[in-house]
Amino acid sequence: MSRNAESTAFRSALEVIRAVEPRVADAIGAELTDQRESLKLIASENYASPATLLAMGNWFSDKYAEGTVGRRFYAGCQNVDTVEALAAEHARELFGAAHAYVQPHSGIDANLVAFWAVLADRVESPALKKAQVRQVNDLTEADWFELRRELGNQRMLGMSLDAGGHLTHGFRPNISGKMFDQRSYGTDPATGLIDYDRVAEAAREFKPLILVGGYSAYPRKVNFRILREIADSVGATFMVDMAHFAGLVAGKVFTGDFDPVPHAHIVTTTTHKSLRGPRGGMVLCQPELADQVDRGCPMVLGGPLPHVMAAKAVALAEARRPDFADYAQRIVDNAQALADGLLRRGAKLVTGGTDNHLVLIDVSGYGLTGRQAEQALLDSGIVTNRNSVPQDPNGAWYTSGIRIGTPALTTRGLGTAEMDQTAELIHTVLTQTTAGANADGTPSKAKYTLDADLADKISRQATDLLAPHPLYPAVDLT
C-alpha cells in the first residue's frame, strides 16, 4: 500500500466517524498521538500494521457466523468461510500445527475453549456413559447436572502468579479457578528459574488432569519437552499458553525443546502481543482434540467476529514473510540489551536477565512499590505495567515489580543502542522517585514524589529518542 493510500484510508474513516460522533473521532486521533509520543514498554502490547487495522473495519462486522467453516447456523456465510479458512491455514503453516481454531475473541476465551475441550475429551463419567455419547453438545439437562457435579474437582497444575503465571491458569478471580482444583508450581527462590524436578514432584503428588505451561511474566525460555514428559508420566493433558511469546515461536527464535507446538496436546495464544496482529485469540491442537475445540462456539464463545478473523488472516500472512523472523530475533536482542543496560546501572532483575521479550524489574531496590514506579514512569512518558515478583511482599495490586517488553519499540525500528538509552531514562526516573506517606504519616504503597521538571525532561528525551522512528509514518491525519 502506498503512503498516500494509507493516509487517505484513515483520514477518510475519521471524517465519516466525525460526522456522527466527533468525540470518538477525536479520541481515536488522540490515541495515535499518544502512542507516537510515548515509549511503549508494555510487554503485551504492540502495533498492528495498517493492513491489519483496516481489515477490522468493514462489512464482515455485520455477519453472524456461529459454527465453523462449511457448518454454519446462519446462511450467507460463504465469505466468512473464506477468511476463517485462510486464517486457519496461515496459522497451521506458520506454527506447524495439525489444527487451528481462530474464532476466540481473546486469550481468556482461547483458554476456556481449551479447558472445555480437554474436559469433554478426557472425562470418563457416568453422565457421558449414560447418554451413550462422546460429544458434549448431545447431553441432556440431566446429563449436564451430573457432569457438572463430577467436574467440580478436576485438577490443574500451572505456574504460580508471583512466578509469572496467569490468572486464567486456575486462579480464583478467573472462572478457571472455579472449574478446577488448582495447584501451582513456582520457581527456585535463589535463581527465579523453573525447577523441573519440583514440577515433576508436584505432578506426581497432585496428579492433575491438565498441566499448564506458559507465562505472562517469566523472562526465560521454558523447556516444553521436559514438561510434556512430566505430563505423560502422570497421564495429564499438556496445555501451553504461548500468548506472550507466540511471535518468537512464529519467528523461529524459539525452536526445538522451546517450541511448544510439537510437544503440547493443545496450545492457546493471543494474536496481538509479539505476534503483532489484531486483539484476539487462537487455539492450536493435535487432531484428537480438533472436534471438541471446534465446538468453542457456542460452548464458550459468542458469535465469531468475522472482521477480526479477517484481520487475523492478514496478520498471520504477514508473520509468514521472511522479515518477520528478523523482527522476532530483534525483539530478543533488544530485550537483552535493555536488561544489560539496567543491570549495569544497578537495577535488580528477576532471574538476572532475559531470554525472551520481557524484563521484570524488582523496584524494591529503589525503595518503591510497583504501583509507585509505574505511575512515575508514566508521568515521564514511559508506559509500563506493575507486576508481581516471586514471593512478592506487596501482593498483586501494589506489587514490587515493573514488567517491560520490547515488541512495540522493535516494531518502530529501535535497536540495541536505543535500548541502552531507554534503560538510562528508566533508571533516572526510578532513582529520582521517592515513596510518599499517608495522611497519618505511615508509608504509602501508592503515593510518591517526583520532580515535575525532571518528569517533563525525561518525557522530552523519550520523544526525542522516538523521533527518528516514527509510528505509522505513512499515516498523516492532518
Residue positions annotated with a catalytic role: 64, 66, 241, 270, 273, 279
Is residue 237 classed as helix, strand or coil in its secondary structure?
Answer: strand
End-to-end CA distance of the chain, in Å?
19
Q: What are phi and psi of 163, to 5 degrees?
A: -85, -10
Binning the chain into helix, strand and coil, the percentages to the nearest 5 are 50, 15, 35
CA nearest neighbour of 120 among 105, 136, 131, 133: 136
Which residues is 237 bridged to in the sheet? 210
For residues 438-447, b (16+ Cβ closer than 10 Å) or e, as one string?
eeeeeebbeb
Instruction: DSSP for 14-77, please give it.
Output: HHHHHTT-HHHHHHHHHHHHHHHHSEE--TT-----HHHHHHTSSGGGG----EETTEESSS--
278 preceded by cis ω (within 30°)? no
CA distances, 111 to each of 3, 129, 169, 270, 425 (Å): 38, 26, 8, 10, 37
CA distances, 356 to each of 34, 187, 195, 329 (Å): 27, 17, 18, 9
Is residue 327 classed as helix, strand or coil in its secondary structure?
Answer: helix
Q: Which helix (H) or strand (E) holds 208?
A: none
Contact 156, 170 (CB under 8 A): yes
* DSSP 8-state class, residue 172: T
Q: CB within 8 A of 16, min separation 6: which ones? A: none
Contact 243, 273 (CB under 8 A): yes
To which residue does cell 498523516 refer? 476
CA distances, 347 to each of 82, 247, 364 (Å): 50, 27, 10
